[in-house]
Structure 1
Amino acid sequence: MAIRVLAHFLPGDSVLEVVEPESDWLDIRWCHEDDDETLHRELADAEVIWHVLRPLSGDDLRRAPRLRLVHKLGAGVNTIDVAAATELGIAVANMPGANAPSVAEGTVLLTLAALRRLTVLDQATRAGRGWPTDPSLGETVRDIGSCTVGLVGYGNIAKRVEQIVHAMGADVLHTNTKPDGTDSWRTLPDLLAASDIVSLHLPLTADTDKLINRAALDTMKAHAVLVNTSRGGVVDEPALVDALRDGRLAAAGLDVFATEPVDPDNPLLRLDNIVVTPHVTWFTVDTMRRYLIEAIDNCRHLHDGRDLVNVVNGR
């Protein structure tokens, strides 16, 4: 008997190419993340949800009496009410490492764009100002290879970023929950003080909420760049606005925000020393293919009565 899957996103051709060969045992229904009417209708029969970003609340999960698995297409499960899922006997699984190549490249992209003032120069060029007239350009723009890059969090993505920037000539420091015996490990305050580029690679938890607060930002170098491709809530956004506006931080590259989709009135969006993208560093054909392969494999486990892979709530 086919397993009913509610895929909480709309497919492109490359997605359909991966899933169509499984149509004899997977009954997939597609739902745009903004379409709550379809979501609530389809929840009634869903056995599996393939979840991306739109938060799944306990109320959502209670609308799904047949639901057995919420499979996050990604690593962070902060957008799922895991406690409610556990109470309802629903397994929650994720995909650690599947998006690491894409997010690592996106991190370096944002780093370069912020470090090299890409958006400002792009706008100036489009406005007909072909040669830079700002003398500070040659005084502040730097090569990654001349910088110390500090990685806050040291999982799959951070380690891939480390490989890339090492190849570009950068010195790399990292911090994590405890010393790991390597020469590059630092405490968070020491890493922030020593780094020209600080890149965040953390889950959003009670311990990491607003970890990069006003005091943390004040310890960073005035010419430093902050890059966040993890979760927006790790950064105290009002404090970041002040630091960027006051010149206590040179620039930032952000793919994530405390509230998503980001509010058009968010003051971060009015600053010209920031580069932003809408939580898409993971979103490539290659990552989607890896996600789908893992999601289908776990559905096969469910279909065959085998233990699920990468379950985060002990079900």
Structure 2
Amino acid sequence: MGDRPRVFVARRIPDDGLQPVSQACEAEIWPDELPPPRDVLLRSIAGCDGVLTLLTDRVDAEFFDAAGPQLKVVSNYAVGFDNIDIPEATRRKVPVGNTPGVLTDTTADLAFALLMAAGRRVAEGDRYVRQGRWKTWGPMLLLGHDVHGSTLGIVGFGRIGQALARRASGFGMQILYHDVNRLPPEVEEPLSATFVPLDELLARSDFVSLHVNLTPDTEHLMNAERLRQMKPTGVLVNTSRGPVVDHDALFEALRDGVIFAAGLDVTEPEPLPPSHPLLTLDSCLVVPHIASASRATRGKMAEMAAANLLAGVRGERLPTPVNPEVYERG
């Protein structure tokens, strides 16, 4: 046991990744459904060669100090890495891995599911039946908005945004997009996607779906002013990061009929407290950050996270490093 790398796995992940880690390493695996408390996390990583983290685990200078100078790798079980101080990891020459690419289609599936469910009031209809309120067919009952033939505005046209556009094309939707830079024609044309300024996208779209990274520029990107630019029949979908939307402004916009509905996979904070005002609104559909939650995708994520962890503890280059510059320094 002594010559095997010591690793800490901050949550139980699918066996696709857990088994190879357990076989190759002296692995401590946090068994609870909730993440380890901060003090427990810091104690558990002391002396470890590698740590497999989740978005709920803050990886910063305190983390690296607690782990010690022998730490060789942090492998994040996510495509995002908002929880990690990447410059600090790089300064300490610790490679960080993530799980890109594998989430693309599964996340796009969930975004489109939220779009349809919010626009057609699916969750609200389910509650209506379960509450015993369904008495007869009604010509004005739970009227929503058509998805087919409508206009979809995609904010952030990377892998997931483009995958959502492919799904929308099957519904005959007109596709507008906005990104920091316009994409080349070979990307736009197969998707029949039109680049427009953000203000125009918000004004013209029936559905707006957010697929941006969380940066200082995108924090509260959807604030009160931008929500007012949307149609009163508009539906907002967020599967990117919770802080991209100002939740207080969203509550007011939904309550006052500024927009029609919202579908959120991510919130600020996470989890969203049961007492949050958004949860008092039938027009706001919230699910618990499950965009990647298919068995196949979570299994592939586990494989990738394990591959990064094992490569790191062996002193090999990570298959998917976030900070490849660590390999360029002497």
Please say whether Structure 1 and Structure 2 have the same fold, judged by a TM-score greater than 0.5. Answer: yes
Q: Deviations over 1:197-221 (max 9, x none)?
A: 0000111111111111111111111
3-state DSSP class of the match of 1:70? Answer: strand
- Following the alignment from structure 1 to structure 2, what is the Cα–Cα distance between the partners of residues 86 and 17? 28
3-state DSSP class of the match of 2:302? Answer: helix
Matching residue's letter, 1:56: R
**Equivalent residue, structure 1, for 2:242:** 232
Q: Deviations over 1:80-119 (max 9, x none)?
A: 2223323333222222222112211111111111111122
**Equivalent residue, structure 2, for 1:113:** 117
Distance 1:167 1:227, change over 3 A: same
Pairing 1:43-82 to 2, within 5 Å after superposition: 43-58=45-60, 59-65=62-68, 66-82=70-86
Distance 1:87 1:225, change over 3 A: same
**Equivalent residue, structure 2, for 1:40:** 42
Give yes or no for contact 2:55–2:82 (8 Å, CA) kept in 1: no
Pairing 1:1-315 to 2, within 5 Å after superposition: 1-11=3-13, 15-21=14-20, 23-31=22-30, 32=32, 33-36=34-37, 38-58=40-60, 59-65=62-68, 66-130=70-134, 131=136, 133=138, 135=140, 137-138=142-143, 141-181=144-184, 182=188, 184-313=194-323, 314-315=325-326
Deviation, 1:176, is 0.8
3-state DSSP class of the match of 1:204? Answer: coil
Give yes or no for contact 1:107–1:161 (8 Å, CA) kept in 2: yes
- Following the alignment from structure 1 to structure 2, what is the Cα–Cα distance between the partners of residues 114 and 167? 19
Q: Deviations over 1:109-163 (max 9, x none)?
A: 111111111222111111223335472644xx22321211111101111111111
Give yes or no for contact 1:175–1:188 (8 Å, CA) kept in 2: yes
- Following the alignment from structure 2 to structure 1, what is the Cα–Cα distance between the partners of residues 48 and 251? 42
Give yes or no for contact 1:256–1:278 (8 Å, CA) kept in 2: yes
Q: Deviations over 1:44-76 (max 9, x none)?
A: 132222222213142233211132222222221
Matching residue's letter, 2:107: V
Deviation, 1:271, is 1.0
Give yes or no for contact 2:17–2:304 (8 Å, CA) kept in 1: no
- Following the alignment from structure 2 to structure 1, what is the Cα–Cα distance between the partners of residues 266 and 123? 18
- Following the alignment from structure 1 to structure 2, what is the Cα–Cα distance between the partners of residues 67 and 132? 63
Give yes or no for contact 2:55–2:81 (8 Å, CA) kept in 1: no
Give yes or no for contact 1:2–1:24 (8 Å, CA) kept in 2: no
Gap runs ≥5 in structure 2: none
Q: Deviations over 1:11-65 (max 9, x none)?
A: 4xxx225432554423332114432254233211322222222131422332111
- Following the alignment from structure 2 to structure 1, what is the Cα–Cα distance between the partners of residues 247 and 303? 36
Give yes or no for contact 1:212–1:234 (8 Å, CA) kept in 2: yes
Matching residue's letter, 1:153: G
Matching residue's letter, 1:4: R
- Following the alignment from structure 1 to structure 2, what is the Cα–Cα distance between the partners of residues 246 and 136? 21
Q: Which moved more, 1:49-58 or 1:99-108?
A: 49-58
Q: How many residues align?
A: 310
- Following the alignment from structure 1 to structure 2, what is the Cα–Cα distance between the partners of residues 213 and 248? 12
3-state DSSP class of the match of 2:263? Answer: strand
Matching residue's letter, 1:265: S
- Following the alignment from structure 2 to structure 1, what is the Cα–Cα distance between the partners of residues 20 and 314? 18
Distance 1:116 1:132, change over 3 A: farther
Greater RCO, CA 8 A, separation 6+: 2
TM-score scaled to structure 2, two decimals? Answer: 0.87
Gap runs ≥5 in structure 1: none
Q: Which runs of 4+ in 1 moved over 3 A?
A: 21-24, 131-134
Matching residue's letter, 1:281: A
Distance 1:305 1:88, change over 3 A: closer
